[in-house]
A and B are shown apart, each in its own frame.
Chain A
Amino acid sequence: MADPIVSLRKIGKSFPGVRALSDVSFDIANGELHAICGENGAGKSTLMKILSGVICDYDGELHVSGQKVQFQGTRDAEAASISIIHQELNLVEQLSVAANIFLGRELRNSIGLRSDAAMESAAKKILVELETDIDPRALAGSLRVGDQQLVEIAKALSLNSQILIMDEPTSALTESEVARLYRVIAKLRQRGATILYISHKMDEVFQLSNRITVLRDGCFILTENTSDTNANEITKWMVGREIESLDLGGRSAPGDVLLEVKNLSMAWPGHARGYRLKDVSFHLRRGEVLGIAGLMGAGRTELMECLFGAAEHTVQGTLLLDGKPYSPNHPKEACNAGIGLVTEDRKRLGIFPAMNVKQNISICSLDSTLLAGLLSSKLEQEASSSMVGNLQVKTASLESAITSLSGGNQQKCIVGRWLLTQPKILLLDDPTRGVDVGAKSELYRLINKLCQDGLGVIVTSSELPELLTLSDRILVLSEGRLTAEFRREDATQEKIMRAATQ
């Protein structure tokens, strides 16, 4: 093999409480299309951020064109001819296409004033090269997602980047836009560009790439020539994660049907796909844990929001709760109907940072702490402290600031908040995100116990072993559609991953 254009040597990176990457070493050959595959949380994004200079402090060494580099920012990476096209596009929507392409490197005229005309003509040249008729004077925000992505690519081209990182570039594109993207990629490769292509869509990876590298749990697994392998093998490598051994003990047989969902759909205006969820149907029984698997953007959170009356867009379909029609328009109605939601993003959507532990626990069930219409601090104290006791929340006192607690204990407070409302169904959206390992198994036991008490639980997770440990049944979502359902006995990570990447 020719000299590698990029070499990674023992790259490692830790975030507080998480080891995102450890000892990753592999090479990228000049002019190849190198696909990088892995589950959510495998470390792909962190690695790309290191390569593109977004993350500057890491362990190990990075070599570009044979020289050791240590980027101090994205500009250094750009100078080394590396550009990244983010999954969530990075355009300033209020500026024109040309202004975005040259943002931070604006062209000037002879007397030092910004020259829009020069930038527009330069932008036009690049855009024509990309077979598109995007007007360089149009506002970036007025473009379709696919066109915005081309603008990002144009930006990379205007930098004359030799190495392009594409982070799940097709996730928001229509089929014709995907085809156009493929043509653009082919053209870039003719010019000798090296492309790092991140995707979990097997068909894409196998159609485009020369070689595939698989990451799992922050570790390098292997690099294979695409021609020497197949989709099944790669999927297996992606999910070959150790299952934490945790015996949750026996569970009694599930009871009656609590919740029935028929043909649930949710619109997604302004997006190529047109829907967030399409024709999702399932049921949940009393005393059952229903797991929902799916990759980022598959619609897990949206499904939870629909069930909780917090959907942003129009919802269609039928919901039956205890056999009665149920169509919540506001979370309050869901609460009254006996449903609780532990949200995915605890910091943004869960805790009240200005309130203490006691107040964070009692916020949903204040009606039961009233004496003569006024809050009784004694009753509130009793309710909160019962939850702190039952759930074994580690806190200095009930009056401690909620932000002084660890992630796992904050999560227990939020679960306790909902348990105080005595719900029939508890929705847990990725409940162990950002929670350390010890606290995770405590949460698993807690969920198991709740089920034994007759609650119905729906849980999503970005970690498959977690779902396999917890769930009685597992549903798999892919791009808003229900693609598979497994009983726990039948489910394996490979099967789930295959259904999720369909």
Chain B
Amino acid sequence: MNQRSGFLAKLGIRPNEIALILAIVAIIGITLGADANRSYWFQWETNSIEIGRQTALLGIFALGAMMVIVSGGIDLSSGSMIAFSGTVIACSMIYLQYGPLGSLLFPVVVDSAGKSIATDMAHAGLFVQSLVVIVSIAMGLTSGFFVGTLHAWLITSIRLPPFVATLSTLVGLRSMARILCEYTTSTYQNSKKAQVNIDHPFFTWLRDSKHVYLWVAVFFVLAALTWVILSRTVLGRHIYALGGNEQAAKLSGIRTDRLKWFAYVFGAMTASLASVFYLANEGVCAPVNQGRGHELNAIAAAVVGGCSLQGGIGTVTGTFLGALFLRIVIDSVSKIIKSGADIWEGLIVGIVVVLAVTFSQLQQLRGSGRRLFPGALGVCAIITLSLFAALIAMSTWGEKQAAMTMIGVFVVLFVYGFTEKQKARG
């Protein structure tokens, strides 16, 4: 362990990242053992494709979340940004097809029987198809740039705390996306719709599981780019400085406001990029609930990967592994618990996030001599943990066993808390 970590440290991999890699391997091993179908063995290809797809989907904007967190901020709006940017892309496609330019790009032609028919997307030439998709995605990314700019302006000029600024866009952007969607569909398609189906051949092609390598490739390229920015450029170093000590950074002649602008634009634009894959993945632009709550998954991935929410600490490798770890945990839960896995999913992800973050700080906690279960709060916490353990035991095991679990957990923790107290006194 010692030598290996020295070697890996030379490669720039931190020990907590090694721990994540080990945890990932362990989970794969456990899943192989516990899953009666051995899906990871017999269907490794399908499984790698699906995990790759999901990891890319989460990882792309988790990198953006990490950039913002390292700079000392937080971006709560990325889920809504995905919906907004997806809507901008979908509406751009509708506009190009049915708007004033539509007759140029999609001319009415006369078929062999002499009947006039309008060209649709599927029958438009490759040039028109590419033009539409490139322009639309560019519009989506541009919308990311502007939303990021708005965040930076609210935070640096209006002096809103990042939490408040991005909380307002979290709710506002989704609403705006719905307004845009209804406006565009009613204006250009004559029927107000709450969601738009994405039937562009590019998105259909992208969705095909044979092309998931492209998703993963985009994720890898973005990760590599982010790594270069953070580790090999002045900009990146300044972002670490900004997150680590904003005052000192400013007094070192760093233009902190511009850095924040970059960080929030990066955060929003990665969400825009992710929205392309969300559109492909779901085949629909659904501003109502596309990506709803996913910003928290991205933040969780960054935090599990070693980011400090205080800022200044965090790596691309960590976030990459954090996203992969979360997706594998979720996948593994569905493999092991065959039916109704999603009711367990949240609980297990929650436990894993708490453990990952707690144990990276345990040394600090012990060093400071603080007690884990102090006073009345500690006693109540012990009771809470025992009750939760009992609840889990009850639903998986039985009521008698639940009672025993509760007593067992209570006694163990209580004895621990008691010795802790004695130690603190002595």
Q: Which residues on A are within 8 Å of B, measured CB to CB?
A: 308, 310, 330-332, 334-336, 341, 343, 348-355, 359, 363-364, 366-367, 370, 373-375, 417, 421
Contact check, A308 vs B251: say whether CB atoms are below 8 A apart: yes
| New A-B pairs, 16, CB < 8 Å, besides A308-B251, A352-B249, A354-B313 | A330-B253, A332-B255, A341-B251, A343-B251, A349-B245, A349-B248, A352-B248, A353-B244, A353-B245, A354-B243, A355-B241, A363-B237, A366-B234, A367-B234, A370-B234, A375-B233
Known pairs A331-B253, A374-B232; A348 contacts B247 (CB<8 A): yes
Query: How far is B229's CA from A375's CA once the two chains are assembled, in angstroms?
Result: 10
| Pick from A343, A348, A374: contact of B228, CB under 8 Å | A374
Across the interface, name the chain A residue whose C-beta is closest to B310: A354
Tell yes or no: B254 within 8 A of A by CB.
Answer: yes
A355 & B244 in contact (Cβ 8 Å cutoff):
yes
Interface centre among A336, A343, A417 (most CB of B within 10 A): A343
Task: Report Cα–Cα, A300/B255, bound state, in Å.
Answer: 24
Task: Specify which chain A residues have a CB less than 8 angstroms from the CB of B249 in the assembled complex.
Answer: 352
Q: B252 interface residue, CB < 8 Å from A?
A: yes
B234 near A375 with CB under 8 A, answer yes
- Chain B residue at minimum C-beta to C-beta distance from A375: B232
12 contacts between A and B (CB under 8 A): A331-B252, A332-B254, A341-B251, A352-B241, A352-B244, A353-B312, A355-B240, A363-B237, A363-B241, A366-B234, A374-B233, A417-B252
Measured between beta carbons, the chain B residues less than 8 angstroms from A341 are 251
Determine whether the beta carbon of A352 is less than 8 Å from that of B255. no
Contact B244 A354 (CB under 8 A): yes
Chain B residues near A (Cβ < 8 Å): 228, 231-234, 236-238, 240-241, 243-245, 247-255, 308, 312-313
The residue from A310, A370, A375 contacting B250, defined by CB atoms under 8 A apart: A310
Q: Which residue of A lies closest to B312 (CB)?
A: A354
Residues of A near B251 (CB, < 8 A) are 308, 310, 331, 341, 343, 349-350
State A217–B176 Cα separation when bound (angstroms): 65
Q: Nearest CB to that of B308 among chain A residues?
A: A354
Contacting pair B237 A359 (CB below 8 A): yes
B252 touches A330 (CB 8 A): no
C-alpha spacing A375/B235, complex, angstroms: 10
Q: Are B248 and A350 in contact (CB-based, < 8 A)?
A: yes
User: What chain B residues lie within 8 Å of A366 (beta carbons)?
Assistant: 234, 237-238
Which of A332, A343, A349 is the one whose CB lies under 8 Å from B253? A332
The smallest beta-carbon distance between B240 and chain A, in angstroms, is 7
Please measure, in the bound complex, the distance between the C-alpha atom of A38 and the C-alpha atom of B131, giving whole angstroms: 78
Quick one: given A366-B234, A370-B234, A375-B237, are A351 and B253 in contact (CB under 8 Å)? Answer: no
Q: Which residue of chain A is the closest to B70 with respect to CB atoms?
A: A354
Q: Pick from A331, A336, A351, A352 the residue with the most CB of B within 10 Å.
A: A352
Residues of B within 8 A of A355 (CB): 240-241, 244, 312
Contacts of B236 in A (CB 8 A): 375
Tell whether, in the assembled complex, residue B250 and residue A331 are in contact, meaning their CB atoms are under 8 Å apart.
yes
**Given A343-B248, A349-B248, A374-B233: A335 and B240 within 8 A (CB)?**
no
**In whole angstroms, how far apart are the Cα atoms of A296 and B262 in the complex?**
39
Most chain B CB neighbours (cut-off 10 Å) among A308, A350, A355, A363: A363
Residues on the A chain within 8 Å of B313, using CB = 354
A336 / chain B contacts, CB cutoff of 8 Å: 253
The closest CB in chain B to the CB of A331 belongs to: B253
Q: What is the chain B residue whose CB lies nearest that of A371?
A: B232
In the assembly, what is the distance between CA of A354 and CA of B248, in Å?
A: 12
Assess whether B232 is in contact with A354, with CB atoms less than 8 Å apart: no
Minimum CB–CB distance from A423 to chain B (whole Å) comes to 11
Contacts of B254 in A (CB 8 A): 331-332, 363
C-alpha spacing A137/B316, complex, angstroms: 53
Residues of A within 8 A of B253 (CB): 330-332, 334-336, 364, 421
A residues within 8 A CB of B248?
A: 343, 348-352
Assembled-state Cα–Cα distance A331/B254 (Å)? 7
Q: Residue on A with the closest CB to B236?
A: A375
Question: How long is the Cα–Cα vector from A351 to B244 in the complex, in angstroms?
Answer: 9
CA distance A354 to B237 in the complex (A): 12
B-chain residues with CB within 8 Å of residue A363 when the two chains form the complex:
237-238, 241, 252, 254
B255 proximity list for chain A (CB < 8 A): 330, 332
Are B245 and A351 neighbours in the complex by a CB distance under 8 Å? yes
Bound: A421/B241 CA distance, A: 17
Inter-chain contacts of A373 with B (CB < 8 A): 233
Residues on the B chain within 8 Å of A353, using CB? 244-245, 312
Nearest-Cβ distance from residue A339 to partner chain B, whole angstroms? 9
